[in-house]
Structure 1
Amino acid sequence: MRELVSKSIDYIIRSLKDDLTVKSVADHFHYSEFHFARLFKAETGESVYAFIKRLKMDQSAIDLKLKHNKSITEIGSDYGYSPSNYSSAFKKHTAASPAQFRKTANAGKVNNPFYPARTDVFETYAAYDDRIKIEELPDLFVLYERMIGSYADIKENWLKFISKYREYFQSGARMLERFYDDPSVASPGSCICDLCLSVENSCPLENVTTIRGGRFAVYRYEGAIADIFCAVQGVFSVWLSQSRYEMRERYGLSIYREIEWDHNHVVMDLCIPIQ
């Protein structure tokens, strides 16, 4: 059941700009609409319809931040909304109109959802650009578990993951996260993130997949775990939105190079698939 729901989420994420319905997703996996909807709700705690609607809003918010060359009307239309319907649906979802959200998102700072009293200020485009390298990354075959919840729980979830799959942590294995949501936009308890460990193709477990390689913008971060949010937001909101690149996939990758759990300190590469 978990693997079916995970694959259906992948399908929904890839197809957000299509005319998705509960039936069309169930049909894709050869399940009855009723049976699939019941399985999905049991696994995620959310109906398929609500999940699709939420992801459309969250992804459109990311587009408002990154795609300055597209109008609000065009972005709403991309996700199947008329101008008036998009504005009202977006405001209901975020408590701000699309225009207000876009203006706030481009203000050079962001409220930190993990520390409500804290406002993070971004660096300049040039500062980020100096530290970003464009690289060709290989395909990665990984063992993974999908987390739907708060990014604040990632450390705890990683420790559980490490304990559960300790025998697969071989020399040279990489720990990485594949993240789909912007925590400054998404509801805190509904962010989608895959905790991954690179493994050999011969790994006998079912929860394995290939993360496609290709061209990536790679930003090396070294510092406190508490400051990762600001670094990620700055790279996306400032560098990516002003660069000549667009995201190739609807996810980013965090590849860990060093982790000091006791000191909450990491060295990691933030990797954005670009075209």
Structure 2
Amino acid sequence: MITNEYINRAIDYILNHIDEEITVEDISNYCCFSRYYFSRIFKMETGESIYEFIKRVRMERSAFRLKVEKDRSITDIGSAYGYSSSNYSSAFKKHHNMPPYKFRRSIVHKSMMNPVFRNTQTELLTWQECSEKITVEIFEDCTVIFERYKGSYGDLSVHWGAFLDKYKEYITEQTRILERSYDDPAITLPDKCLCDICIDAPAGCTLENICTIKGGRFAVYHFSGPVEHIYSAYQNLFSVWLPQSKYKIDDSYGFEIYKKTDCGSRHMDIDICIPVK
């Protein structure tokens, strides 16, 4: 768990400005610490230096764009993250072990291999079948109590139990349970995936670990099935529905709303909410 308020503030700043030129000094100054001190505590908390984290997120977010924006040129995507055409190809190949054009050709096939539950088969639906499960909805901003984790999404059930017990006094029948994931595990290594587990914060809540999940227009995949198949639902959104729909993925991050969970059977009803424009 990443508990340091300033580290989380730095991570939020990086994630929200990843398509801009960001330096270690920018992050240190934003959090009001010296570069040396903040670089040290950032690496202690996250396992990565600030520079490594920025570079990795930039490479992985651009790779995600290659995956879901199939009609957008590689040069345009690289440029959006601050790279010239040749520099982007070189940096991308160094990080992903293949040039961008090969990655784009192979990513759908790679996405069929579930890295979270390796023995679970990923099934891609037709666009029509996906559309029957998806609605486009408008959400308001919501304030949540959250804890942030870095690691495999497959381990979250353990953290969820502890989280819900820790904040049980804030939970009522109206409280929503949400999960905000920042990475596509088909692209990001499992041990580097970021996730916030959240509940609605009651009015007047004075806890320090509160943040706002921004609202807007979202494509909502209404999922019902075993937890092992949630990965398939995401891949159907990313690889089937989005590329063929009239919508484009927005720059903010998505989240899940837990509707119903059966811990015994591991069956879940959740809404997977992906920002679109």
- Superposition map of 1:95-114 within 5 A: 95-107=97-109, 110-114=112-116
- Superposition map of 1:96-245 within 5 A: 96-107=98-109, 110-116=112-118, 119-245=121-247
Per the TM alignment, residue 108 of structure 1 is displaced from its structure 2 partner at its CA by 9.5
Per the TM alignment, residue 198 of structure 1 is displaced from its structure 2 partner at its CA by 0.7
Per the TM alignment, residue 33 of structure 1 is displaced from its structure 2 partner at its CA by 1.0
Letter in 2 for 1:176: L
Aligned pair in 2 of structure 1 residues 87, 269: CA closer, same or farther (>3 Å)? same
Q: C-alpha separation between the residues in 2 aligned to 1:260 and 1:254?
A: 16
Per the TM alignment, residue 106 of structure 1 is displaced from its structure 2 partner at its CA by 4.0
- Report what 2:55 is aligned to: 53
| Contact 1:224-1:264 at 8 Å conserved across structures | yes
Q: C-alpha separation between the residues in 2 aligned to 1:250 and 1:104?
A: 25
- Give 3-state SS (helix, strand or coil) of 2:179's partner: strand
Per the TM alignment, residue 90 of structure 1 is displaced from its structure 2 partner at its CA by 1.8
Per the TM alignment, residue 2 of structure 1 is displaced from its structure 2 partner at its CA by 0.8
Q: C-alpha separation between the residues in 2 aligned to 1:169 and 1:46?
A: 34
* Aligned-pair identity (%): 42
Q: C-alpha separation between the residues in 1 aligned to 2:39 and 2:98?
A: 31
| Contact 2:221-2:233 at 8 Å conserved across structures | no
Letter in 2 for 1:140: C
- Give 3-state SS (helix, strand or coil) of 2:202's partner: coil
Letter in 1 for 2:208: E
Letter in 1 for 2:152: S
With normalisation by structure 2, the TM-score equals 0.94
Out of 53, 67, 84, which is 2:86 matched to?
84
Aligned pair in 2 of structure 1 residues 117, 89: CA closer, same or farther (>3 Å)? farther
Q: C-alpha separation between the residues in 1 aligned to 2:237 and 2:7?
A: 31
Gaps of 5+ in 2: none
Per the TM alignment, residue 127 of structure 1 is displaced from its structure 2 partner at its CA by 1.0
Does residue 76 of structure 2 align to residue 74 of structure 1? Answer: yes
Letter in 1 for 2:130: Y
Cα distance per residue 1:77-131 (max 9 Å; x no partner): 2222232332232223222321111112245961111244555231111111122
Cα distance per residue 1:214-265 (max 9 Å; x no partner): 2211111000000100111111221112212122343111100001112111
Aligned pair in 2 of structure 1 residues 167, 235: CA closer, same or farther (>3 Å)? same
Alignment RMSD (CA, Å): 1.7
Aligned pair in 2 of structure 1 residues 107, 167: CA closer, same or farther (>3 Å)? same
| Contact 1:222-1:266 at 8 Å conserved across structures | yes
Per the TM alignment, residue 35 of structure 1 is displaced from its structure 2 partner at its CA by 1.6
- Give 3-state SS (helix, strand or coil) of 1:111's partner: coil
Aligned pair in 2 of structure 1 residues 115, 210: CA closer, same or farther (>3 Å)? closer
- Report what 1:256 is aligned to: 258
Letter in 2 for 1:226: E
> Which segments of structure 1 move beyond 3 Å, counting only runs of 4 or more?
106-109, 115-119
